Amino acid sequence: MDWYRRFARWVRHSQYAKPTFYFLLLFFLTGVFIWVFELGENDQFQTVMDGLWWSIITFSTTGYGDKVPVTFAGRLIAVVTIMIGIGGTSLLSGALASWLVDRNTKARRGLMDYRKLKDHLIICGWKNDMKDILQDILRVSGDVTADQLLIVSNVDSERVEELKEDPNLTGLKFVRGDYFAEASLRRANVETARKVLILADTLESQAVSEVDSKTVMTVLTIKAISRDVYVTAEVLDKKFESYLKQAMCDEILFSRDFSRQMIANTSATNGMSHIIYDLLTQSGGTSRLSTEPIPPDTINKTYADLKLHFQSPERVLLGVLENTGSPNRMKVEALRDAQKTSDVSKLITNLQKVKGLEVNKPFFLPADDHPIQRYTQAIVLERIS
């Protein structure tokens, strides 16, 4: 009965429900009446379907002339139907044009609700090089299209329209509002998003603490709406890492710290910046660093067994990434497993492990006897054509 409730709700709240209902009722009544008055007097109206067909043609002002009333009452109904049809068609065309213009205007101004959008990538915040960021996302994520990108920001809508002038970003979607506000995130339908990327937005403030505080607030709001949405957050000050972890942020990007570490490494090694840049951007076109799901039959086995599966001239196994996916689901399952013991001391030890569970923890070149756990992915360097 859900369809009935949705239909009843639409009838109560839609401005088009009553006019549509009256239009259909009038169409049905004229079809029935013309059939009643012409029955027995006009061979062209033998069944009620003949009357309904005539009503459709007359209302639409098409006028095939295949059925013509001959009685006075029938012709009177025809005159009324033609007049109403002319006015109704004009009103219908105007209403449709008005709806399309209104929808387009709302979309451009960031006022649309995307409650039916699914499997999309939400980008919270704004950066001056937004165009380059979006194009890199489309290039690296082969299965993401511009129609699946949605920006939530207080930026002027004109700047978003400038992005959409690029042929590759025509389908870009925009929700205008505070990206840390629940109302804005619900309009972006964060519940069904494949991932949320929170940028360190300096659009409204240059203060690092304020920028990172908004990032923490956004993570808290998203996780309050849906705990299973994967959230990646960019943070400027590393001291906010603990707050993001408590907010159950899935992935934290230390952009300034990463840049500083790259600078430090260039003083000790040669070419490290070029190596990392080529691996991330794939600008060399010969290799790619990525993560891949592990075969189910390697779970609870060792790293040596996993190496056998990935042994190939085309790719090299560099390590494993543990505790991937939803931290909430992992901690619930880990807590359930930790309680499967009657030994109190062992139970306490297991619960401490659950508390210290670190999400997306990489292990490069671990020992061959390193155990392969659930929610693990392989870190792979593979050759590309």
Concatenate the DSSP letters of all residues of 112-181 into one string.
---TT--S-EEEES--TTHHHHHHHHHHH-TT--GGGEEEEE-S-HHHHHHHHTSGGGTT-EEEES-TTS
- DSSP H/E element including 214: helix 208-225
**Among the four given CATH numbers 3.50.50.60, 3.30.1360.40, 3.40.50.720, 3.60.130.10, the one describing domain 121-257:** 3.40.50.720
Where, residue-wise, is CATH 3.40.50.720 in the chain?
Answer: 121-257
Say if residues 110 and 160 touch (Cβ distance below 8 Å): yes
| Cα(171)–Cα(165) distance, integer angstroms | 10
Q: What is the pLDDT of residue 139?
A: 84
Say if residues 203 and 227 touch (Cβ distance below 8 Å): no
Q: What is the pLDDT of residue 347?
A: 61
Give the pLDDT band of residue 153 (cuts 50, 70, 90).
very high
Where, residue-wise, is CATH 3.30.70 in the chain?
Answer: 286-383
Q: What is the DSSP string of 72-93?
A: HHHHHHHHHHHHHHHHHHHHHH
Task: Name the architecture of domain 2-109.
Answer: Orthogonal Bundle (1.10)
Q: Is CATH 3.30.70 what the domain over 286-383 is classified as, yes or no?
A: yes
| Cα(184)–Cα(320) distance, integer angstroms | 37
Say if residues 61 and 83 touch (Cβ distance below 8 Å): no
Secondary structure (3-state) at 253: strand
Average pLDDT over residues 63-78: 81
Q: Which of 325, 321, 319, 299 is nearest to 377 (CA)?
A: 321
Say if residues 327 and 247 touch (Cβ distance below 8 Å): no
Q: What is the pLDDT of residue 151?
A: 93
Average pLDDT over residues 4-24: 68
Average pLDDT over residues 63-90: 80
Tokens representing 127?
A: 């950066």
pLDDT tops 80 at residue 251: yes
Q: Phi, psi at residue 125, to the nearest 5°?
A: 105, 180
Give the pLDDT band of residue 7 (cuts 50, 70, 90).
low
**What contacts 230, CB < 8 A, 6 or more positions away?**
194, 195, 196, 250, 251, 325, 326
How does strand 121-124 pair with strand 195-198?
parallel
Taking the model in full, what pTM does it have?
A: 0.69
Tokens representing 8?
A: 């009843």
Say if residues 94 and 66 touch (Cβ distance below 8 Å): no
Say if residues 247 and 227 touch (Cβ distance below 8 Å): no
pLDDT tops 70 at residue 114: yes
For 361-374, what is each residue's pLDDT tens digit? Answer: 899 999 999 999 88
* Burial (CB count <10 Å: 0-12, 13-18, 19+), residue 104: exposed
Q: What is the pLDDT of residue 81?
A: 82
Q: What is the pLDDT of residue 15?
A: 62
Q: Which of 154, 124, 142, 114 is nearest to 231 (CA)?
A: 124
Tell me the torsion sign for CA atoms 8, 10, 15, 17: negative
Secondary structure (3-state) at 49: helix
| Cα(229)–Cα(352) distance, integer angstroms | 25
Q: Tell me, what amino acid is at 31?
A: G
Q: What is the pLDDT of residue 282?
A: 64
Largest CA distance in the chain: 102
Cα first-last separation, the chain:
54
Where, residue-wise, is CATH 1.10.287.70 in the chain?
Answer: 2-109
Q: List C-alpha distances in Å: 338 to 130, 245, 347.
A: 45, 21, 6
| Cα(194)–Cα(148) distance, integer angstroms | 10
Q: Which of 293, 290, 306 is nearest to 372 (CA)?
A: 306
| Cα(377)–Cα(317) distance, integer angstroms | 11
Q: What is the pLDDT of residue 30?
A: 87
Average pLDDT over residues 227-256: 89
Secondary structure (3-state) at 313: coil
Tokens representing 95?
A: 């209403």
Average pLDDT of every residue of the chain: 83
Q: What is the pLDDT of residue 356?
A: 64
Q: What is the pLDDT of residue 189?
A: 93
Q: What is the pLDDT of residue 225?
A: 93
Secondary structure (3-state) at 314: coil
Q: What is the pLDDT of residue 191?
A: 93
Give the lowest-confidence range in 158-167, 185-194, 337-346: 337-346
